[in-house]
Chains A and B, each alone.
Chain A
Amino acid sequence: MQPISYLTLIPFAASILYIILLIVVYGSRKNKIARSYMYYIIAMIVWSFGSFMMKTDIPPSSLFWNKILCVGLIAIPVMFYSFTLILTDIKQQKWILYTSYITAFILLIANFLGLIMKTASYVDGVFLYSLGPAAAVMAIWSMVILTIALFNIIHKIKKHELSFSRVKYILLGLFFMMVGGLLNLDNRIGKYPFDIVLNTLNAFLIAYAIYRFKFLEIKLIVKKGIAYSLYTFLLTGLYVISIMILQQFLSDKLKYSNIISALIVGFILAIVLQPFYHFIQSAIDRIFYREKIKFQNIVKEFSEITNHLLDLNQIILALMDVIHKGLKTKIIHLALINDNDYYVVYDESAKKLNEGKQMFNAHHPIVKWFAEGKTILTKKDIEQLSYFSSLWSSEKKFIEKMNAELFIPIRFRESLIGILILSENNIGEVYTSDEVDLAYTLVNHVAAVFDNSKLYAQAKQQAITDGLTKLYNHRYFHDQLKFLISSTVYETFSIAILDVDLFKFYNDMYGHSAGDRALVKIANVIKENTSKEDVVVRYGGEEFAIIYPNITGKESLEAIEKIRQAVENYFFTTSNYGEFITISAGVSNYPIDSKDGESLIDFADKAMYAAKQTGRNKAILFTDIDEMNKTSKQSIDLEKLQDRIKSAYISSVYALAATIDAKDHYTFGHSENVANLAVALAKEANFSPAQIEIVRSAGLLHDIGKIGIPENILTKPASLTKDEFEVMKKHVDISITIIKHIPNLIDVIPAIMSHHERYDGGGYPLGRKRENIPIEGRCLCIVDAFDAMVSDRPYRKALSVDIAIEELDRNKGTQFDPNLTELFVKMIQEGRVPVHRE
Chain B
Amino acid sequence: MRLKEMLREEAYQEIWDKYCGFIDLSLDEFMEIQERLLLEQIDMLDNCALGKRILHNQKPKTVEEFRQMVPLTTYEDYADILLKKQEDALPSHVMYWIKTTWKGGIQDEKWAPYSDSMIEEHAKNFIAALILSTSKKRYDFSLRDHDKFLYGMAPLPFLTGLAPYGLKHEIEFDYLPPTEEAERLDFKERNKEGFRIALNEGVDLFFGLSSVLVKMGEEFMNGSSNTKKKIRPKNVKVAFRLIRAFYKKKILKQPLLPKDLFHFKGILCGGTDSREYKDKIEYLFGKRPIEIFGGTEIATVAIETWGGNGLTFFPDVNFLEFIPEHESIISLNDKDYVPQTVLLNELVPGEKYEIVTTKFRGGAFVRYRVGDMIQCMALEDTEHQIHLPQIRYIDRIANVIDLAGFTRITRSSIDQAIEQTNLPAIDWCATKEFINQKPILHLYLELASPVDNKIVTQSIHEQLKLLDIDYQNMETLLDLFPLNVTLLDKGSFSQFKKGTKQQIDKINPAKEVLEILLNGVTK
What distance in Å separates the Cβ of A486 from its nearest Cβ neighbour in chain B? Answer: 50
Nearest residue (CB) in B for A214 is B9
Q: State whether A383 and B361 are in contact (beta carbons under 8 Å apart), knowing that A390-B33, A392-B40 are contacts in the complex.
A: no
Provide the bound-state CA to CA distance between A32 and B145, in Å. Answer: 13
Nearest residue (CB) in A for B29 is A387
Interface string of B13-34 (1 = CB under 8 A from A): 0100110011011000100110
Determine whether A287 belongs to the interface, using a CB cutoff of 8 Å to chain B: no
Q: Out of B14, B316, B361, which one reaches A380, CB within 8 Å?
A: B14
Task: Verify A384–B40 contact, CB threshold 8 A.
Answer: no
Q: Out of A30, A363, A383, A389, which one reaches B22, CB within 8 Å?
A: A389
Task: Verify B24–A386 contact, CB threshold 8 A.
Answer: yes
Determine whether A254 belongs to the interface, using a CB cutoff of 8 Å to chain B: no
Q: Out of A31, A33, A89, A389, which one reaches B316, CB within 8 Å?
A: A389
Task: Verify B316–A384 contact, CB threshold 8 A.
Answer: no
What residues of chain B lie closer than 8 Å to A91, measured between beta carbons? Answer: 146
Task: Verify B36–A392 contact, CB threshold 8 A.
Answer: yes
Determine whether B117 belongs to the interface, using a CB cutoff of 8 Å to chain A: yes
Determine whether A365 belongs to the interface, using a CB cutoff of 8 Å to chain B: yes
What residues of chain B lie closer than 8 Å to A31, measured between beta carbons? Answer: 8-11
Q: Which residues of chain A in 21-50 are interfacial with respect to chain B, using CB atoms and an 8 Å cutoff?
A: 30-33
Interface string of B345-365 (1 = CB under 8 A from A): 000000000000000011000
Interface residues on A, range: 20 to 34
On chain B, the number of residues with a Cβ less than 8 Å from chain A's Cβ atoms is 25
**Which of A365, A387, A390, A393 has the most B CB atoms < 10 Å from its CB?**
A390
What residues of chain B lie closer than 8 Å to A30, measured between beta carbons? Answer: 10
Q: State whether A384 and B21 are in contact (beta carbons under 8 Å apart), knowing that A91-B146, A389-B316 are contacts in the complex.
A: yes
What distance in Å separates the Cβ of B317 from its nearest Cβ neighbour in chain A? Answer: 10
What residues of chain A lie closer than 8 Å to B9, measured between beta carbons? Answer: 31-33
Task: Verify A384–B18 contact, CB threshold 8 A.
Answer: yes
Q: Out of B8, B11, B36, which one reaches A363, CB within 8 Å?
A: B36
Provide the bound-state CA to CA distance between A390 and B32, in Å. Answer: 8
Determine whether A385 belongs to the interface, using a CB cutoff of 8 Å to chain B: yes
Determine whether B1 belongs to the interface, using a CB cutoff of 8 Å to chain A: yes
- B contact patch SS: helix
Q: Which residues of chain A in 354-399 are interfacial with respect to chain B, using CB atoms and an 8 Å cutoff?
A: 363, 365, 380, 383-387, 389-390, 392-394
What residues of chain B lie closer than 8 Å to A33, measured between beta carbons? Answer: 9
Determine whether A628 belongs to the interface, using a CB cutoff of 8 Å to chain B: no
Determine whether A86 belongs to the interface, using a CB cutoff of 8 Å to chain B: yes
Nearest residue (CB) in B for A30 is B10
Task: Verify A384–B36 contact, CB threshold 8 A.
Answer: no
Task: Verify A386–B22 contact, CB threshold 8 A.
Answer: yes
Interface string of A594-638 (1 = CB under 8 A from B): 000000000000000000000000000000000000000000000
Task: Verify A32–B10 contact, CB threshold 8 A.
Answer: yes
What residues of chain A lie closer than 8 Å to B11, measured between beta carbons? Answer: 31
Provide the bound-state CA to CA distance between A383 and B21, in Å. Answer: 11
Provide the bound-state CA to CA distance between A30 and B10, in Å. Answer: 8
Determine whether B324 belongs to the interface, using a CB cutoff of 8 Å to chain A: no
What residues of chain B lie closer than 8 Å to A86, measured between beta carbons? Answer: 8
Task: Verify B361–A393 contact, CB threshold 8 A.
Answer: yes
Provide the bound-state CA to CA distance between A30 and B315, in Å. Answer: 33
Provide the bound-state CA to CA distance between A33 and B5, in Å. Answer: 12
What residues of chain A lie closer than 8 Å to B176, measured between beta carbons? Answer: none
What residues of chain A lie closer than 8 Å to B131, measured between beta carbons? Answer: none
Nearest residue (CB) in B for A89 is B8
Determine whether B290 belongs to the interface, using a CB cutoff of 8 Å to chain A: no
What residues of chain B lie closer than 8 Å to A363, measured between beta carbons? Answer: 36
Determine whether B344 belongs to the interface, using a CB cutoff of 8 Å to chain A: no
Task: Verify A384–B17 contact, CB threshold 8 A.
Answer: yes
Interface string of A566-607 (1 = CB under 8 A from B): 000000000000000000000000000000000000000000
Q: State whether A385 and B10 are in contact (beta carbons under 8 Å apart), knowing that A363-B36, A390-B32 are contacts in the complex.
A: no
What distance in Å separates the Cβ of B38 from its nearest Cβ neighbour in chain A? Answer: 10
**Which of B10, B43, B117, B361 has the most A CB atoms < 10 Å from its CB?**
B10
What distance in Å separates the Cβ of B48 from its nearest Cβ neighbour in chain A? Answer: 15
Q: State whether A386 and B36 are in contact (beta carbons under 8 Å apart), knowing that A31-B10, A393-B117 are contacts in the complex.
A: no
What residues of chain A lie closer than 8 Å to B112, measured between beta carbons? Answer: none
Provide the bound-state CA to CA distance between A89 and B1, in Å. Answer: 15
What residues of chain A lie closer than 8 Å to B267, measured between beta carbons? Answer: none
Determine whether B129 belongs to the interface, using a CB cutoff of 8 Å to chain A: no
Determine whether B37 belongs to the interface, using a CB cutoff of 8 Å to chain A: yes
Q: State whether A390 and B10 are in contact (beta carbons under 8 Å apart), knowing that A384-B18, A385-B17 are contacts in the complex.
A: no
What distance in Å separates the Cβ of A797 from its nearest Cβ neighbour in chain B? Answer: 64
What residues of chain B lie closer than 8 Å to A392, measured between beta carbons? Answer: 36-37, 40, 43
Provide the bound-state CA to CA distance between A384 and B22, in Å. Answer: 10
What residues of chain B lie closer than 8 Å to A387, measured between beta carbons? Answer: 21, 25, 29
Provide the bound-state CA to CA distance between A380 and B14, in Å. Answer: 9
What residues of chain A lie closer than 8 Å to B40, measured between beta carbons? Answer: 392-394
Interface string of A50-64 (1 = CB under 8 A from B): 000000000000000
What residues of chain B lie closer than 8 Å to A393, measured between beta carbons? Answer: 40, 117, 361-362
What distance in Å separates the Cβ of B523 from its nearest Cβ neighbour in chain A? Answer: 56
Q: State whether A386 and B362 are in contact (beta carbons under 8 Å apart), knowing that A32-B10, A380-B1, A393-B117 are contacts in the complex.
A: no
Task: Verify B8–A383 contact, CB threshold 8 A.
Answer: no
Interface string of B25-58 (1 = CB under 8 A from A): 1000100110011001001000000000000000
Nearest residue (CB) in B for A379 is B1
Provide the bound-state CA to CA distance between A32 and B40, in Å. Answer: 41
Provide the bound-state CA to CA distance between A528 and B33, in Å. Answer: 38
What residues of chain A lie closer than 8 Å to B1, measured between beta carbons? Answer: 380, 383
Q: Which residues of chain A in 66-93 are interfacial with respect to chain B, using CB atoms and an 8 Å cutoff?
A: 86, 89, 91
What residues of chain A lie closer than 8 Å to B43, measured between beta carbons? Answer: 392
Provide the bound-state CA to CA distance between A365 and B14, in Å. Answer: 20
What distance in Å separates the Cβ of A201 from its nearest Cβ neighbour in chain B? Answer: 27
What residues of chain A lie closer than 8 Å to B29, measured between beta carbons? Answer: 386-387
Provide the bound-state CA to CA distance between A394 and B36, in Å. Answer: 13
What distance in Å separates the Cβ of A192 from its nearest Cβ neighbour in chain B? Answer: 40
Task: Verify B8–A390 contact, CB threshold 8 A.
Answer: no
Nearest residue (CB) in B for A394 is B40
What distance in Å separates the Cβ of B156 from its nearest Cβ neighbour in chain A? Answer: 23
Task: Verify B25–A390 contact, CB threshold 8 A.
Answer: no
What distance in Å separates the Cβ of A162 from its nearest Cβ neighbour in chain B? Answer: 12
Task: Verify A390–B24 contact, CB threshold 8 A.
Answer: no
Nearest residue (CB) in B for A395 is B40
Interface string of B126-158 (1 = CB under 8 A from A): 000000000000000000001000000000000
Task: Verify B146–A386 contact, CB threshold 8 A.
Answer: no
Task: Verify A386–B315 contact, CB threshold 8 A.
Answer: yes
Provide the bound-state CA to CA distance between A86 and B10, in Å. Answer: 12
Nearest residue (CB) in B for A363 is B36
Task: Verify A32–B8 contact, CB threshold 8 A.
Answer: yes
What residues of chain A lie closer than 8 Å to B17, measured between beta carbons? Answer: 384-386
Nearest residue (CB) in A for B30 is A386
Task: Verify A389–B33 contact, CB threshold 8 A.
Answer: yes
What residues of chain A lie closer than 8 Å to B316, measured between beta carbons? Answer: 389-390
Q: Which residues of chain A in 439-481 are interfacial with respect to chain B, using CB atoms and an 8 Å cutoff?
A: none
Q: Out of A380, A383, A390, which one reaches B37, CB within 8 Å?
A: A390
Provide the bound-state CA to CA distance between A86 and B145, in Å. Answer: 13
Task: Verify A365–B8 contact, CB threshold 8 A.
Answer: no
Task: Verify A390–B36 contact, CB threshold 8 A.
Answer: yes
What distance in Å separates the Cβ of B61 from its nearest Cβ neighbour in chain A? Answer: 13
Q: Which residues of chain A in 83-131 are interfacial with respect to chain B, using CB atoms and an 8 Å cutoff?
A: 86, 89, 91
A–B pairs, 21, beta carbons within 8 Å: A33-B9, A89-B8, A363-B36, A365-B36, A380-B14, A383-B1, A384-B14, A384-B17, A384-B21, A385-B17, A385-B18, A385-B21, A386-B33, A386-B315, A387-B25, A389-B316, A390-B32, A390-B33, A390-B37, A392-B37, A393-B362
Q: List 9 A-B pairs, minimum CB-CB distance, nearest first.
A: A384-B18, A390-B36, A390-B33, A31-B10, A386-B21, A389-B316, A392-B40, A386-B22, A384-B17
Known: A386-B24, A387-B25, A392-B36. 13 other contacts (CB 8 A): A31-B8, A32-B8, A32-B10, A365-B36, A384-B14, A384-B17, A385-B21, A386-B21, A386-B25, A386-B33, A390-B315, A392-B40, A393-B361
Residues of A within 8 A of B (CB): 30-33, 86, 89, 91, 363, 365, 380, 383-387, 389-390, 392-394
